[in-house]
Chain A
């Protein structure tokens, strides 16, 4: 049977899955004492604060306005008093502007519908929905945090044929999308219908990796109630959750280099984004919370939590049983693509899908050996690049050649660093090369 399942053609790896929390229902985390809401939680221009120090805010109130086209508004995730508008260290340790709110009670904005009843009828028009999504500050919740309304406004001469909903969750450990599909499946389906209405298309495909068989069965069952939505199980392979790989797996179309999915008539959104769209359009609720997987083999109670944006990571780890003594790294995001966080006081942001606590012996990098030209990295690169070549080119500063080697196509999935038998830090240098080449291209303009 599994041979019949679809997947992308080029490369890919099979890291161990470690889905420890796939069976645990999502818990709602209590409110912390203080939240820190970063003003740049999305790709694009940071939002501008519209509240002042000392103001009282309610849950869902706009506290920072998105500036320009590629930007997203930010709303208060708690009710209370604004105590500080200042720069605080984010997960990289560098200081970024943020708003700190002290929690007092839990008072919501009046127009937010708090009941959990399913509201299936879509009453708003296309433009009203789009405006609502923009106002609600929804960004891609899969991890990249690209403002969603930008993806939904199509360029004039392009036409979308298929909407792909990304429920792949190919990263080890992470189960937040998996639990969302099981527990909020119907709401998510309505969200998909809303997205289909905005894009004016009749066909949507949900792609789910086959290790989440319960989610596939459940969504297949309810999809009969939602016309136009199909559910496809996919063969397990990393990095299938990447936009371009998923499109290839489901439609067989390859997105050309430096082009967007819309150029092959496809729009991709994450399952969590679809759910956030449902809440924004049907319940007037802006993006103020999300599901975060807190996992790790050494943790006492790895779980999925519904977390308000801005909650400190320390609070989540305490709820999962506290930080184990032998912890080496705490990673924000998935095991493959996530980044180590510098301090446990960093806040949860919109794009943070997981917090992984890893013991010291698992996180130590092994000593770097010379490249033995085994070409494993070339074989597994899902974008068909040659990572072994890109690393020395970056080190030597040959950025023109790097550009010719299509370094900008790299999706930073980390498969090359994972597979390298010489433990070479391929992705670290490729990422640096990408920034340098981007600089070069911008200079040329």
Chain B
């Protein structure tokens, strides 16, 4: 009996002494952290994608708490909703930011862009791009080896094996920018997410002169400035034989789309047009 008592007593006294030592050490080395950081972190999507520019959600929460304004801070995954919650928690103003979505600025499918050679090296866009121009003559077009698909954490992008081009699923895309970083050819761009996910953009980044660009790819932007002339809202700028549509200025009137002679301007998620000309029929076919 006494041995049991002795054991209990000695063990609990060791426990108590250890607890006291631990408590003292915890007091001595304790790190003071603003508890609101945890609240902010809880409000964040916990995707740890790095889309905000910080390594993880915790770091972003710290930055939110420590900075004076929330102007430069934006969580693309959570969007405006999350930022409003964060602003509420911190008693600060959240800047109104339009949600964005990734678009692929290349339409060089197997059909549109003839393959001139056969690549059988390591299946990685980064490797292939560093090695040579790719299996077509276009030095800036999509290489179609899944680098963007691999980095996407939201399953928002997949490779269409029929065209050899990646496709963005607008509902899933959070505009975290991982694919933009991963693409060695810089063909992925984050653009304003309009109502009903509608967007219009020039689906080409080739800056070669028209004739050469057309030789590479039948749907290349040839820099003819037709869209530039037809746009009433000054949303289109020309530079280096390439048109660019500013998504903040664009009113989605679609006049440039019909004007483009090479069908390099894409319209996405629009209802079908009422009267269809042959040209538009061809365009629809390509979009499918």
Contact = CB atoms under 8 A, between A and B. Distances in A.
Interface of A: 89, 91-95, 339-340, 342, 364-365, 368, 395, 425, 428-429, 431-432, 435
Contact of B122 (A92, A95, A339, A428): A428
18 contacts: A91-B132, A92-B131, A93-B133, A93-B139, A94-B133, A94-B139, A340-B132, A342-B117, A364-B120, A395-B124, A425-B121, A425-B122, A425-B127, A429-B127, A431-B127, A432-B124, A432-B126, A435-B130
Contacts of A429: 122, 124, 127
A432 B139 contact: no
Contact of A428 (B127, B133, B137): B127
Contacts of B108: none
Interface residues of B, number: 15
B51 to A, nearest CB: 16
Contacts of A435: 130
A232 B252 CA distance: 75
A291 to B, nearest CB: 26
A92 B132 contact: yes
A340 B122 CA distance: 14
Nearest to B120: A365
Interface in B127-166: 127, 130-134, 137, 139
A259 to B, nearest CB: 26
A91 B137 CA distance: 12
A432 B127 contact: yes
A368 B120 CA distance: 11
A12 B162 CA distance: 43
A405 to B, nearest CB: 18
A339 B119 CA distance: 13
B269 to A, nearest CB: 33
Given A428-B127, A432-B126, A342 B121 contact: no
A395 B146 CA distance: 13
Contact of A93 (B123, B124, B132): B132
Given A93-B132, A93-B134, A432-B130, 15 more contacts: A89-B133, A92-B131, A93-B133, A94-B133, A95-B139, A339-B132, A340-B132, A365-B120, A365-B121, A425-B127, A428-B124, A428-B127, A429-B122, A429-B124, A432-B126
Contacts of A425: 121-122, 127
B133 A92 contact: yes
A395 B150 CA distance: 11
Interface string B87-115: 00000000000000000000000000000
A435 B134 CA distance: 19
Nearest to B134: A93
B203 to A, nearest CB: 22
A435 B130 CA distance: 9
Give 8 nearest A-B pairs by CB, closest first: A93-B133, A425-B122, A428-B122, A92-B132, A365-B120, A428-B127, A93-B132, A432-B127
Interface of B: 117, 120-124, 126-127, 130-134, 137, 139
A198 to B, nearest CB: 36
Contacts of B137: 93
Nearest to B139: A94
Contacts of B132: 91-94, 339-340, 342
Contacts of A91: 132
Contacts of B120: 364-365
A355 B139 CA distance: 24
Contacts of A94: 132-133, 139
Contacts of B124: 395, 428-429, 432
A363 B179 CA distance: 32
A435 B129 CA distance: 12
B27 to A, nearest CB: 35
A339 B131 contact: yes
Contacts of A95: 139
Most buried by B among A368, A425, A429, A432: A432
Contacts of A365: 120-121
A209 B129 CA distance: 36
A161 B121 CA distance: 43
Contacts of B126: 432
Contacts of A432: 124, 126-127, 130
Nearest to B121: A428
B181 to A, nearest CB: 10
Contacts of A395: 124
The winner among B117, B126, B132, B134 for most chain A CB atoms within 10 A is: B132
B152 to A, nearest CB: 15
Contacts of A431: 127, 130
A113 B123 CA distance: 52
Contacts of B123: 368
Contacts of A340: 132
Contacts of B134: 93
A425 B130 CA distance: 14
A395 B147 CA distance: 10
Contacts of B117: 342
A300 to B, nearest CB: 24
Contacts of A93: 132-134, 137, 139
Nearest to A424: B122
Contacts of A92: 131-133
A357 to B, nearest CB: 15
A428 B120 CA distance: 12
Nearest to A435: B130
Contacts of B131: 92, 339, 428
A383 B132 CA distance: 26
A339 B131 CA distance: 9
Most buried by A among B121, B127, B139: B127
A356 B128 CA distance: 21
A438 to B, nearest CB: 12
Contacts of A339: 131-132
